[in-house]
Amino acid sequence: MKGADAEDRAEAHLRALGREILHRNYRIPGGEIDLVSRTPQGVLVFTEVRQRGASRHGSAAESVTPRKLALMHRAALTYLTRELGRDDLPCHLEVLTIDGPAATGTLRVIPLD
């Protein structure tokens, strides 16, 4: 449940920023978006949540590979077309990292524009 704990904290953080959570764990074959949210300005945000309890294998941000980013992009495009019927809506990708315990570690949001 470690991943779910990190996603719970990420969801709470995004809600505190004023975002509406539209979907959690949106899955397509070969990919997933952890959280889909909408800003108060109407921009869709696709968030990958990464948590690392210890730094011996690098930071949470360092665990995001180019392959993961490509899969994330594909899943976001699929969400736009399947769920909303169009792919021209204002949106962006981001990674939310937690370094340390899911409940208390350092949280950081990294935009991927």
- Mean pLDDT score of the chain, rounded to an integer? 92
Number of separate domains in the chain: 1
pLDDT of residue 29 exceeding 80, the answer is yes
Q: In which domain, by residue range, is 47 found?
A: 2-111
Q: What are phi and psi of 25, to 5 degrees?
A: 55, 55
Q: Please say if the pLDDT value at position 26 is more than 60.
A: yes
> pTM for this one?
0.93
pLDDT at 1 (0 to 100): 47
| 88: CATH | 3.40.1350.10
- What's the burial of 83, exposed, middle or buried (CB within 10 Å: 0-12/13-18/19+)? exposed
pLDDT surpasses 60 at 38: yes
Q: Supply the pLDDT for residue 2.
A: 61
Residues 6+ apart with CB under 8 A from 14: 21, 35, 37, 45, 47, 96
Mean pLDDT, residues 61-69 taken together: 90
The residue type at 95:
V
